[in-house]
């Protein structure tokens, strides 16, 4: 089994993040896509929470919570 990895995409509003993400989802049909906007994190303190969720998802200790 291939080792999982994370691709993070950042850009200005309207910069094509969703378009690129949707393309990746088509090219890699087994990928899990996490849209940060869907979770309403506000403030830098929640970046830690996001990091922990992604780390746990990769390690297999968190159920599939994210839209695929």
Q: Tokens for 58?
A: 């990769």
How many C-beta neighbours within 10 Å does residue 68 have? 10
User: Is 28's pLDDT higher than 80?
Assistant: yes
Say if pTM beats, i.e. exceeds, 0.95.
no
Question: 10 phi and psi, to 5 degrees?
Answer: -130, 140
pLDDT in tens, 29-68: 888 887 776 665 555 566 777 777 777 777 766 555 544 4
Q: What is the Cα–Cα distance from 26 to 48, expressed in whole angstroms?
A: 29
């Amino acid at each position: 089994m291939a080792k999982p990895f994370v691709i993070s995409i950042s850009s200005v509003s309207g910069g094509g993040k969703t378009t690129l993400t949707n393309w990746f989802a088509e090219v890699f049909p087994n990928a899990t896509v996490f849209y940060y906007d869907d979770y309403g994190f506000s403030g830098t303190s929640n970046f830690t929470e996001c990091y922990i969720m992604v780390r746990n998802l990769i390690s297999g200790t968190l159920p599939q919570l994210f839209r695929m």
